[in-house]
């Protein structure tokens, strides 16, 4: 990236409500509905799902409008609602970065859950977290957030490089190695299997 006076990008200020995750200005807001991500749930859970419509919002994203260009960083907040599809918790779709060699950092503003991660060479790692945890996703790790709370939204603030890109398709094809499922027989209400 070379400096170019006519194109130089100017600093700005926005607002991020720590309690709600809402980003106030310069941000796009979009919702991910269940109907857009049925392929990531087990088919039997989708088939037996009588009480949730496809229009149910699984998560809401606030993302700053910025150039998707090398050198920029994208601030984004996600509100992942509590809920389940059968015994599977509401979760993000999950992705690798297209540009595999790029990291991402999450700060948990509210809630609890599990971050499932894996690499293309077969490694996997699952991290349980709660409010005020900082999660580091290094280069090469696909990542998915799972909200394990019965009642509370999971709200997290993330930063990723603007040229990272999102590869959802690889995860749709392979799935994650580990699942986080509802298990009322455990103290924490879930199992990682």
* Nearest to 92, CA basis, from 1, 27, 176: 176
**Residue 113 CA to chain centroid, in angstroms?**
11
Could you tell me the CA-to-CA distances from 163 to 32, 75, 141, 156 in Å, in that order? 22, 13, 16, 21
Q: Tell me: does residue 79 bind a copy of itself (CB under 8 A).
A: no
Instruction: Dig out the tokens for 81 from the structure.
Output: 């609602």
49-68 residues near a copy of itself, rule: CB under 8 A: 64, 66
Q: What gap in Å lies between CA 190 and CA 143, rounded to an integer? A: 19
Between residues 121 and 173, which has the closer beta carbon with respect to a copy of itself? 121
- Strand pairing partners for 89? 84
* Residue 178 makes contact with a copy of itself by CB under 8 A: no
Neighbours of 150 (CB within 10 A): 13
13 vs 187, beta carbon nearer a copy of itself: 13
The answer to whether residue 13 forms part of the interface with a copy of itself (CB under 8 A) is yes
Q: Does 73 bind a copy of itself (CB under 8 A)?
A: yes
Q: Does 44 bind a copy of itself (CB under 8 A)?
A: no
Residue numbers at the binding site for a copy of itself (CB under 8 A): 1-3, 5, 8-18, 23, 64, 66, 70-73, 75, 100-105, 107, 109, 115, 117, 119-121, 123, 125, 127, 129, 132-141, 157, 159-161
């Amino acid at each position: 990236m070379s400096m170019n006076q006519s194109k130089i990008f100017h600093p700005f200020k926005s607002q991020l409500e720590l309690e709600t995750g809402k980003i106030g200005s310069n941000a796009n807001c979009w919702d991910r509905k269940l109907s857009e991500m049925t392929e990531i749930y087990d088919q039997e859970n989708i088939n037996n799902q009588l009480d949730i419509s496809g229009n149910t919002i699984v998560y809401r994203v606030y993302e700053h409008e910025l150039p998707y260009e090398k050198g920029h960083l994208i601030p984004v907040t996600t509100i992942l609602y509590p809920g389940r599809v059968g015994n599977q918790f509401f979760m993000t779709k999950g992705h690798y970065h297209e540009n595999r060699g790029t990291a991402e950092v999450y700060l948990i503003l509210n809630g609890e859950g599990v971050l499932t991660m894996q690499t293309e060479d077969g490694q996997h790692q699952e991290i349980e977290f709660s409010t005020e945890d900082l999660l580091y996703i290094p280069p090469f790790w696909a990542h998915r957030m799972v909200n394990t709370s019965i009642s509370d939204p999971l709200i997290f603030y993330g930063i990723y490089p603007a040229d990272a890109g999102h590869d959802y398709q690889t995860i749709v094809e392979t799935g994650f190695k580990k699942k986080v499922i509802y298990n009322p027989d455990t103290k924490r209400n879930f199992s990682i299997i």
